[in-house]
Amino acid sequence: MPKKPWGGRFKKVTHKLVDKYTSSIDFDKRLYGEDIEGSIAHAKMLGKQGIISKQESQQIVKALEEIRGEIEKGKFPYREKLEDIHLNIEKRLIEKIGEIGGKLHTARSRNDQVVLDERLYLRREVGEILSLIKDLARAFLDLAEKNIDVIMPAYTHLQRAQPILLSHHLLAYFEMLKRDRERYIDCLKRVNIMTLGAGAVAGTSFPIDRDYVADLLNFPQVTRNSVDTVSDRDFILEFISTSAILIMHLSRLSEELILWSSKEFDFVDLGDEFTTGSSIMPQKRNPDVPELIRGKTGRVYGNLMALLAIMKGLPLSYNRDLQEDKEPMFDTADTVKSSLHVLSEMMKHIKYKSENMRKALSKGFATATDLSDYLTRKGTPFRKAHEVTGKIVRYAEEKERELIQLNISELKMFSSLFEGDVFDHITIEGSISSKKSYGGTAKENVLKMIQECQKELAKW
């Protein structure tokens, strides 16, 4: 039976149920790479500072690298009774090089060790997520270029609102991803801080060099307060919070794709590669990928709530409750990365049905605002113009005709300001081309937006 590293204080062995209940090795073994990386840096610092001999430091580093190889080859003997990845690696180190291995833990605690591992892990994960965000943003830009002349109805309250270019709609998601990227980069500032040296809670009496360890691990700074260092999980909360906003954006897109791929809309073809069938209904082609993204969004929200609930009642500093921070962190990173990856690939295969989108604008009085704007430019106060247009819409509805199907005599029944040129303003193309305000849907604007976004993307 493995001896507990902290067993000197106790007369009786830990109950087997406690061993099982408190063990985290099943999930925190994912941190083996980070744990070994941090331990190698710590060992080198101990040797540099003369806390252990340089020869001992070199022996420890060599053995840790061998242990990493064992783990990667699937030959490492994980032991549940040793609780976590830290003690499992330390035990194996001692087995390989004897008591010298026990010197590695000098001037550190699992409390500052685990939070270092988590920061190293998140730093890598954020880097991968940023790369995946770039891939998805590029997919939106490619689609915007490809579909620059496709016209669709914009929606408010899920009701047809005004005509816009599909490209303009797609670029809205680029803006969301841009903000997501900025949030992750800002989050990384608070992730990328080195924790070793805080010890269990009070620091250490050994002459350590924290800045040297930070340099070895490529951290720009070290934590300032040992109490806060071992009890802080804000950086994980911020990561999950940022991820929750990102996946909310993916869920909104997914909801649109689900609606648009239905026969009721029939705006988009998701392709055979990214849809599935029914076990009983042969005709079905189901949008399972966006549905699952929409569903997995709830998991990320749950992870955020779980960690907030864990943290809300913890007195300073370290408490064992903090062991529960890892699974929400791991699950969030996995969920976000897989969702971004599959969505990026799906968007490369998607096909928009331009005729159906255009047809959806044939009913619903989508250019009514343009009619109001026409009267406003003629000198009618906008509120009055809005009222007049509302009456025209009601009249057209009763006649079962669209605005463009009314004649000038009918329009003059509501205002003498109408002239023949009004029909140039209330066509679908006329409506879109008139929206030249910065950020508007006019084609010349959208083309400039695409160019701006391409330049931004090249710097990501």
Task: Give Cα 293 distance to the centre of its chain.
Answer: 12
Q: CATH number of the domain at 201, please.
A: 1.20.200.10
Region for 364 from its dihedrals, namely left if φ exceeds 0, alpha if ψ lies in -120 to 50, beta otherwise? left
So what's the pLDDT on residue 3?
65
CB atoms within 10 A of CB 118: 24
Distance, in Å, from the CA atom of 183 to the CA atom of 177, rounded to the nearest integer, reads 10
Distance, in Å, from the CA atom of 388 to the CA atom of 450, rounded to the nearest integer, reads 37
Q: Do both 347 and 372 map to the same domain?
A: no
Q: Do both 178 and 120 map to the same domain?
A: yes
The residue from 313, 339, 359 where one domain ends is 359
Q: How far is CA 374 from CA 169, 433, 442, in A?
A: 25, 14, 17
The residue from 63, 85, 106 where one domain ends is 106
pLDDT in tens, 400-459: 888 888 899 888 899 889 888 999 888 999 999 999 999 999 999 999 999 999 999 999
Given 53, 131, 278, 362, the catalytic residue: 278
Q: Do both 91 and 141 map to the same domain?
A: no
pTM over 0.95: no
Q: What is the mean pLDDT of residues 215-228?
A: 98
Q: Do both 332 and 392 map to the same domain?
A: no
So what's the pLDDT on residue 249?
98
The residue from 321, 340, 359 where one domain ends is 359
So what's the pLDDT on residue 83?
85
Q: What percentage of residues in the chain have a pLDDT greater than 70?
A: 97
Asked whether residue 1 is assigned to any structural domain, the reply reads no
Q: Do both 12 and 98 map to the same domain?
A: yes
Distance, in Å, from the CA atom of 296 to the CA atom of 8, rounded to the nearest integer, reads 46
Asked whether residue 164 is assigned to any structural domain, the reply reads yes
Asked whether residue 2 is assigned to any structural domain, the reply reads no
Mapped onto helix, strand or coil, the DSSP state of residue 409 is helix
Q: Is the pLDDT of residue 2 over 60?
A: no
Residue that the structure tokens 């010349």 belong to: 444
* 313 CB-contact burial (10 Å; exposed 0-12 / middle 13-18 / buried 19+): exposed
CB atoms within 10 A of CB 309: 11
- Give catalytic status of residue 278 as yes or no: yes
Asked whether residue 402 is assigned to any structural domain, the reply reads yes
Distance, in Å, from the CA atom of 119 to the CA atom of 221, rounded to the nearest integer, reads 13
pLDDT band at 5 (very low <50, low <70, confident <90, very high): low
pLDDT band at 8 (very low <50, low <70, confident <90, very high): low
- Give catalytic status of residue 15 as yes or no: no
Q: What is the mean pLDDT of residues 315-339?
A: 95
Given 157, 205, 279, 409, the catalytic residue: 157
**23-58 residues labelled b (16+ CB within 10 A) or e (exposed):** bbbebbbbbbbbbbbbbbbbbbbbbbeebbeeebbe
Q: Do both 116 and 228 map to the same domain?
A: yes
Q: CATH number of the domain at 416, please.
A: 1.10.40.30
So what's the pLDDT on residue 19?
66
Q: Do both 142 and 97 map to the same domain?
A: no
Full residue range of the structural domain in which residue 71 is found: 7-106
Structure tokens, 106: 């000098």
Asked whether residue 169 is assigned to any structural domain, the reply reads yes
Structure tokens, 76: 């490492």
So what's the pLDDT on residue 387?
93
Q: Do both 148 and 257 map to the same domain?
A: yes
Q: What is the mean pLDDT of the chain?
A: 93
For 86-150, give the DSSP string: HHHHHHHHHHHHGGGGGGTTTT--HHHHHHHHHHHHHHHHHHHHHHHHHHHHHHHHHHHHHTTT-
So what's the pLDDT on residue 4?
64
Q: Do both 97 and 142 map to the same domain?
A: no
pLDDT band at 36 (very low <50, low <70, confident <90, very high): very high
Q: Do both 319 and 399 map to the same domain?
A: no
Mapped onto helix, strand or coil, the DSSP state of residue 175 is helix
Q: How far is CA 386 from CA 150, 400, 414, 415, in A?
A: 28, 21, 12, 12
Q: Do both 280 and 409 map to the same domain?
A: no
User: Per the structure, how many domains does the chain have?
Assistant: 3
Q: Do both 169 and 315 map to the same domain?
A: yes
pLDDT band at 95 (very low <50, low <70, confident <90, very high): very high
Cβ–Cβ under 8 Å, residues 195 and 223: yes
